[in-house]
Amino acid sequence: MTQEDKIMMADLTAMSTSELKSLERKVAKAIEKVEARERMNALAALEAKAREMGYSLDELTTENALRGRGKGKPRSKGVAKYANPADPSQTWTGRGRRPAWVLQALQEGKSLDDLAI
């Protein structure tokens, strides 16, 4: 603890509760102002860098710009290629993880061709 810290601590211990609460409010306001100034400086630096690279900050921060493309058309769920012989309502496109009924059929010696629709 430096000498300055000791003096400041002594000053704090001599203060009343109301004086400490007042100081606390002042410190909170000062922190808010400093953080706001730091945010503004960061934003200005980002805007300058974007301009330097030929963009506006808005162009770089929109959702579509971040993804690199527009919404485009939604991806289809795929067409069912396989069906459970025991329950034809259970289907599988052949994409992703194999359903339990496919695994069971394969263990029973059937091939994917046997399950094809």
Closest CA to 92 of 79, 105, 103: 79
Contact 93, 81 (CB under 8 A): yes
Q: What is the pTM of this model?
A: 0.45
Provide the residue ranges of all domains of the chain, joining segments of one domain with +.
3-67, 82-115
Averaged pLDDT, 83-110: 94
**Each residue of 59-79: pLDDT tens digit?**
888 766 666 655 667 777 789
DSSP 116: B
Contact 107, 87 (CB under 8 A): no
